[in-house]
């Protein structure tokens, strides 16, 4: 159990909170200041401020972007958000959305903003997790229509309840490519290039079984394992299946994460 500070707040801590309470989430402030979420909420309130988990200033975007999943672009981003996004419609009655990536992936986040016609800037910040500082980039906003449409396909608790959404079959591979860009990993052993694979880990086996079935329909052999922490792992290891996986994901595709495409392409060259 984490042992948070219970001492009086220092002037430095109060000054930091005043300057940064809108910039960081409660969880991030808790990590930085080593104080409990409740303590931070109470102090913010005592200082006369109010805070949302999400940016509540109305921002310009295409709120109806996910109303109908009828294109490669929409299916791809639905998959990516299913793996890596955060949605919420119960925190203080807000319909919040947030997408955070490591700072070096900011060009990818700009692609997302372009897709949803977002007319606002990416936020750059540092977060402290497990005593390490990470630089991230993030977009967040509140939109009842945007979030309600997303909830047709994914739930609040994506970790435990996620499964393949009911969308047009011709867009399923685009959804899977987005999901893989959010949660999948192409791997080549640095010491032995013969050892290469694609792997993806999830808490809920259902989404992995759905993806495995789609892979099987396209002659891509995969296996699902149970890890020591009870998480599930889907893996593709055979050369022929890795080649088929690359073509399944990327042939004629127009939207993908460049660095994962490059890794898959390197595997394709080694496996051929």
Sign of CA dihedral 34, 51, 105, 126: negative
Residue 162 and residue 207 in contact, taking contact as beta carbons nearer than 8 Å? yes
Q: Spell out, as residue ranges, where the chain has pLDDT lower than 50.
A: 1, 54, 56
pTM: 0.79
Question: Residue 91's pLDDT is what?
Answer: 52
Spatial CA neighbour of 135 closest among 151, 146, 124? 124
Question: Residue 7's pLDDT is what?
Answer: 79
| Interatomic CA distance for residues 267 and 195, integer angstroms | 10
Question: Residue 207's pLDDT is what?
Answer: 94
Question: Residue 1's pLDDT is what?
Answer: 45
Question: Residue 164's pLDDT is what?
Answer: 93
Encode pLDDT of 168-199 as tens digits. 999 999 999 999 999 999 999 999 989 999 99
| Interatomic CA distance for residues 55 and 99, integer angstroms | 12
Q: Could you give the C-alpha distances from 14 to 35, 36, 40, 45, 196, in angstroms and in order?
A: 12, 15, 10, 12, 50
Encode pLDDT of 91-121 as tens digits. 556 688 999 999 999 999 999 999 999 998 8
Spatial CA neighbour of 222 closest among 210, 207, 238? 238
């Amino acid at each position: 159990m984490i042992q948070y500070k219970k001492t009086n707040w220092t002037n430095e801590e109060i000054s930091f909170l005043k300057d940064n309470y809108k910039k960081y989430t409660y969880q991030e402030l808790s990590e930085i200041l080593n104080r409990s979420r409740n303590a931070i909420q109470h102090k913010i309130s005592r200082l006369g401020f109010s805070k949302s988990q999400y940016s509540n200033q109305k921002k310009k975007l295409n709120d109806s972007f996910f109303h109908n999943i009828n294109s490669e672009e929409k299916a791809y981003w639905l998959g990516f958000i299913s793996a890596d996004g955060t949605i919420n419609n119960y925190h203080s009655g807000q319909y919040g959305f947030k997408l955070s990536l490591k700072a070096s992936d900011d060009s990818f986040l700009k692609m997302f903003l372009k897709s949803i016609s977002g007319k606002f800037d990416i936020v750059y910040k540092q977060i402290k997790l497990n005593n390490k500082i990470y630089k991230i980039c993030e977009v967040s906003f509140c939109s009842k229509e945007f979030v309600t449409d997303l909830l047709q396909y994914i739930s609040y608790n994506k970790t435990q309840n996620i499964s393949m959404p009911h969308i047009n079959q011709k867009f399923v591979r685009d959804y899977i490519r987005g999901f893989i860009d959010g949660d999948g990993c192409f791997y080549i052993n640095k010491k032995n290039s013969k050892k290469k694979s694609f792997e993806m880990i999830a808490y809920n086996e259902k989404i992995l079984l759905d993806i495995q079935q789609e892979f099987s329909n396209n002659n891509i052999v995969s296996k699902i394992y149970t890890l020591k922490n009870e998480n599930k792992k889907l893996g593709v290891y055979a050369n022929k299946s890795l080649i088929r996986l690359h073509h399944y994901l990327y042939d004629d595709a127009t939207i993908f994460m460049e660095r994962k495409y490059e890794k898959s392409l390197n595997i394709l060259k080694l496996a051929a």
